[in-house]
């Protein structure tokens, strides 16, 4: 059950999308998001949808996995869509109704926008290992080091957080199984009862999280870790020709969307 959490999950593979440099993918995601918010007409959305589908195909990511990750967002998506449907002025669908044609159009586009936004982000995390992702981020943000931003520390924290998500999920699963074996019931009862039922999970989870943090700190110190100063990498990142090609495609894509915006397509 908890294993179904897809947040930040990585599906290993050896496709073109997997092989792209993480920096390329991060920049392209930013380009994609900008394009998403520039889209104004159905043709631009069609282009965005086609691009997303193409990357999914290239990266062998099944639509099922994207939709599974969308599930927790369902409430927000439906809520936004409903609000847009009711609060957009225009021609009413039926005389006297509050729902307008413009509202329906807006809410469908809104749904598309949110879904594509999430799908794009998933495509990045599904095809890029957490380590590659944080390394890429660190390199991209390294100019900020000059003005005193602790980039290395920030990305280290991020990679640790990402690294420990699965561990903590596993741990939670284990503790839940153990308490369930002792007759604990997490599924029935009212809100207060259920909140109380979480206590037998949270206490051991926190105890073990602190223990783990302690152990990790000791392990890092005993291997002489002392921050990012002068650190070299085992895996050097190198931009290749496919990265250049992907960049070119991305720029072309953004240009197309901006041009389409001019013509309200």
Partner 1 sequence: MPELRVEALTHVYSAGTPFEKTAIENISLTIPQGQMVGVLGHTGSGKSTFIQHLNALLRPSSGAVYYDGKDVNATKHSRREVKAQVGLVFQYPEYQLFEETVFRDIAFGPKNQGLDGSALEARVREAAAFVGVDETLFERSPLELSGGQKRRVAIAGVIAMRPGVLVLDEPTAGLDPAGCRQILDNIQSYREKTGSTVILVSHNMDDAARMCERLIVFDHGHIAMDGTPEEVFARPEEMSAISLSVPHAAALAMALRRKGVPLPGAIYTHEQLLDALLRIEGVGAC
Beta bridge partners of 92: 100
Contact flag: residue 27 with partner 1 (CB under 8 A): no
- Per-residue tokens: 115: 């879904």
Q: For partner 1, which is the closer residue by CB, 85 or 175?
A: 175
Q: For partner 1, which is the closer residue by CB, 153 or 185?
A: 185
| Strand, coil or helix: 167 | helix
Taking CB under 8 A as the criterion, the residue among 146, 182, 226, 235 binding partner 1 is 182
- Per-residue tokens: 172: 């939670």
Interacting span for partner 1 (CB under 8 A) from 18-26, 109-117, 179-187, 246-254 = 179-187
Q: Are 126 and 59 in contact (CB under 8 A)?
A: yes
- Per-residue tokens: 193: 């009862």
Contact flag: residue 212 with partner 1 (CB under 8 A): no
CB of 203 to partner 1, least distance (A): 4
Q: Are 136 and 25 in contact (CB under 8 A)?
A: yes
Q: For partner 1, which is the closer residue by CB, 37 or 206?
A: 206
CB of 171 to partner 1, least distance (A): 8
Taking CB under 8 A as the criterion, the residue among 76, 78, 170, 177 binding partner 1 is 177
Q: Classify residue 259 as exposed, middle or buried by CB count within 10 Å of its CB (0-12, 13-18, 19+).
A: exposed
In the block, residue with structure tokens 């440099």: 21
Considering only residues 135 to 164 of the shown chain, the ones binding partner 1 according to CB under 8 A are: none
Contact flag: residue 199 with partner 1 (CB under 8 A): yes
Gap between the Cα atoms of 81 and 83, Å rounded: 6
- Per-residue tokens: 204: 């051991």
CB of 262 to partner 1, least distance (A): 43
- Per-residue tokens: 1: 């059950």
Contact flag: residue 204 with partner 1 (CB under 8 A): yes
- Per-residue tokens: 63: 């639509």
Contact flag: residue 12 with partner 1 (CB under 8 A): yes
Taking CB under 8 A as the criterion, the residue among 2, 3, 72, 219 binding partner 1 is 3
Gap between the Cα atoms of 103 and 89, Å rounded: 7
Q: For partner 1, which is the closer residue by CB, 41 or 200?
A: 200
Q: Are 245 and 197 in contact (CB under 8 A)?
A: no
CB of 202 to partner 1, least distance (A): 8
Contact flag: residue 179 with partner 1 (CB under 8 A): yes
CB of 204 to partner 1, least distance (A): 5
């Amino acid at each position: 059950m908890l294993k179904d959490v897809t947040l930040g999950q990585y599906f290993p593979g050896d496709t073109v999308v997997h092989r792209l440099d993480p920096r390329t993918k991060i920049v392209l995601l930013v380009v994609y998001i900008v394009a998403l918010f520039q889209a104004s007409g159905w043709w631009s959305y069609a282009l965005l949808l086609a691009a997303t589908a193409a990357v999914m195909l290239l990266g062998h990511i099944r639509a099922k996995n994207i939709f599974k990750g969308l599930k927790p967002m369902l409430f927000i998506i439906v809520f936004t869509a409903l609000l847009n449907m009711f609060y957009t002025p225009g021609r009413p669908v039926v005389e006297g109704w509050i729902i307008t044609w413009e509202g329906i159009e807006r809410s469908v586009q809104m749904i598309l926008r949110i879904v594509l936004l999430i799908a794009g982000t998933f495509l990045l995390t599904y095809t890029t290992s957490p380590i590659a992702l944080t390394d890429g981020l660190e390199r991209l943000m390294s100019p900020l080091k000059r003005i005193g931003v602790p980039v290395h520390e920030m990305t280290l924290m991020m990679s640790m957080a990402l690294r420990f998500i699965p561990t903590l999920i596993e741990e939670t699963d284990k503790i839940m199984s153990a308490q369930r074996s002792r007759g604990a019931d997490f599924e029935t009862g009212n809100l207060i009862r259920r909140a109380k039922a979480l206590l037998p999970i949270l206490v051991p989870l926190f105890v073990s999280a602190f223990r783990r943090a302690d152990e990790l700190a000791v392990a890092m110190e005993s291997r002489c870790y002392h921050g990012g100063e002068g650190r070299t990498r085992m895996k050097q990142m190198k931009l290749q020709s496919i990265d250049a090609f992907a960049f070119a495609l991305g720029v072309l894509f953004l240009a197309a969307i901006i041009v389409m915006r001019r013509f309200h397509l």
